[in-house]
Amino acid sequence: MVSRLLPKTSLVNSAQLEVSCRSNILIIIVCTFVQAEVDKMWMLSFLVLVNSGSRHEAKYPSGIAHFLEKLAFSSTAQYGSKDEILLTLEKHGGICDCQTSRDTTMYAVSAEVKGLDTVVSLLSDAVLQPRLLDEEIEMTRMVVRFELEDLNMRPDPEPLLTEMIHAAAYRGNTVGLPRFCPADNVEKIDKKVLHSYLRNYYCPERMVLAGVGIEHEQLVECARKYLLNVKPVWGTSTVANVDLSVAQYTGGIVKMEKDMSDVSLGPTPIPELTHIMIGLESCSFLEEDFIPFAVLNMMMGGGGSFSAGGPGKGMFTRLYLNVLNRHHWMYNATSYHHSYEDSGLLCIHASADPRQVREMVEIITREFIQMAGNAGEMELERAKTQLKSMLMMNLESRPVIFEDVGRQVLSTGKRKLPHELCELISNVTASDIKRVTTKMLRSKPAVAALGDLTELPSYEHIQAALSSKDGRLPRMYRLFR
């Protein structure tokens, strides 16, 4: 029974919205409250979610969101340094964090209930009153350079492949813009550029304030007290440069020839591998087909060749049963689903020895074609149960709760409750899976390839395989072998 999976939560005014916006005054916004009874009201969590990310940098140097993530919770109008902020939070058992994605920037703080006023004031200061000192920006440049170096050296290529597959799928627009600051732009981003960006995107109608463990009216009062009459440090002006572009899926291929032989040396070195990611356009998270795509992604599942684990960890998903269990030479086969307000991308990441890349690609294209077949009843029910279980387990975490609240309210103005989502998942049928897959297979593929690409099939051959009935690559005949 789904009802038994639901955590003990009481929602107070979950649909209640308070939107405040006065000319030349920056105010936050939308207050939505979720109170978890298990927390017993001794911890509070707050989130300011901004509709601002790497996809909005078309008129700016790419990398501003990356910079702002690293600059968050540095010196402000009230606090002279990041150390002062951390010490203030420490007195109330608190922590802070800032994360950026392709479409949002999230500032979050958690602390004991007795530190309510201090925490909300601090959060307001961090978002609206950052000093952005020259020495802080220079330190951020060093951090960004280090991250870029680490991105190219780490054994796990998934973040780099995710960047590449988005660049291939949405070439030069919106979510296809770089999430990490390109090396050429590190010196271009300064205080003037940051203020110009903040002036356009950090405005009331693009922000949500969410709280967990606090009464709705109490949160509204705090917002009025600490956010209502706060003038942002970058000033106010008529917003003129907001990028309202809709994602344009293009498909394509991005390749990076790279020597992977020395990626992870040591007692148990990782073998030299070639990594391929193939994706097709799915849908936005605002469409009804989002839930069937989420079930399809769970049905495909997959993972690394040594990560199957026990029951309930994905060992009965298609990519385990059809790929990893049958082809011992494949080191990884994992399905991912990235979804945004105006588009989405379902992709499969696979890794193998460079000499077997062609065979690996054909195995993945065949799996895409087989998605359009009839899903078995037991297979479908298992995927739906696993998706509901994962949803409910994740929503037991306080950070996940307020991020879920913030994202839903920011994009739709309301929040679907967990039991509503579970009901939508339960209603997915085999015909829904077949319908969304058939629609997805009409799109051009997006391909990202990393490593030794000598045996990589051409993009045209991959596209032909995904347009065929069996997913097989066109045969190649060689005079000399």
Domains and CATH numbers, the chain: 2-226 (3.30.830.10), 252-467 (3.30.830.10)
pLDDT value at 32 more than 90 = no
Contact between 31 and 211 under an 8 Å Cβ cutoff? The reply is: yes
Sheet architecture: strand order including 302-304: 252-257, 446-451, 274-281, 344-352, 330-339, 302-304
Per-residue pLDDT band at 11 (split at 50, 70, 90): very low
Identify which of 462, 269, 285 has the alpha carbon closest to the alpha carbon of residue 360.
462
Contact between 29 and 151 under an 8 Å Cβ cutoff? The reply is: no
Strands 31-36 and 207-212: parallel
pLDDT value at 386 more than 90 = yes
pLDDT value at 181 more than 80 = yes
Q: Cα dist. 63→69, 101, 295, 387 in Å?
A: 10, 11, 33, 34
Query: Count of H helices and E strands in the chain?
Result: 15, 12
Reduce the DSSP state of residue 449 to 3 states and report it.
Answer: strand
What whole-number distance in Å separates Cα of residue 179 and Cα of residue 250?
Answer: 18
Other Cβ atoms within 10 Å of 329 Cβ, number: 11
Least confident of 36-40, 337-341, 352-356, 362-366: 36-40
pLDDT at 72: 96
Reduce the DSSP state of residue 175 to 3 states and report it.
Answer: helix
Strands 446-451 and 252-257: parallel
What whole-number distance in Å separates Cα of residue 225 and Cα of residue 118?
Answer: 12
Mean pLDDT of 40-63: 88
Share of the chain above pLDDT 90, in %: 68
pTM beyond 0.85: the answer is yes
pLDDT value at 416 more than 50 = yes
Mean predicted lDDT score pLDDT of the chain: 86
CA 307 to chain centre: 22
Name 279's bridge partners: 347, 446
Per-residue pLDDT band at 41 (split at 50, 70, 90): very low
Contact between 8 and 38 under an 8 Å Cβ cutoff? The reply is: yes
pLDDT at 448: 98
pLDDT at 269: 67
> Tokens 């992604």 — which residue?
297
Mean pLDDT of 296-304: 91
Mean pLDDT of 420-439: 96
Contact between 207 and 18 under an 8 Å Cβ cutoff? The reply is: no
Tokens for 288, please give them.
Answer: 């009804």
Per-residue pLDDT band at 9 (split at 50, 70, 90): very low
pLDDT value at 318 more than 70 = yes
pLDDT at 306: 62
pLDDT value at 119 more than 80 = yes
Per the model's pLDDT, the better-predicted residue between 41 and 208 turns out to be: 208
Q: Cα dist. 371→330, 341, 392 in Å?
A: 20, 24, 26
Nearby residues of 268 by Cβ (< 8 Å), 6 or more positions away: none
pLDDT tens-digit series, residues 204-243 = 889 999 988 888 898 899 899 998 888 899 987 666 678 8
Angle between helices 430-440 and 377-394 (to 10 degrees): 80
pLDDT at 479: 52
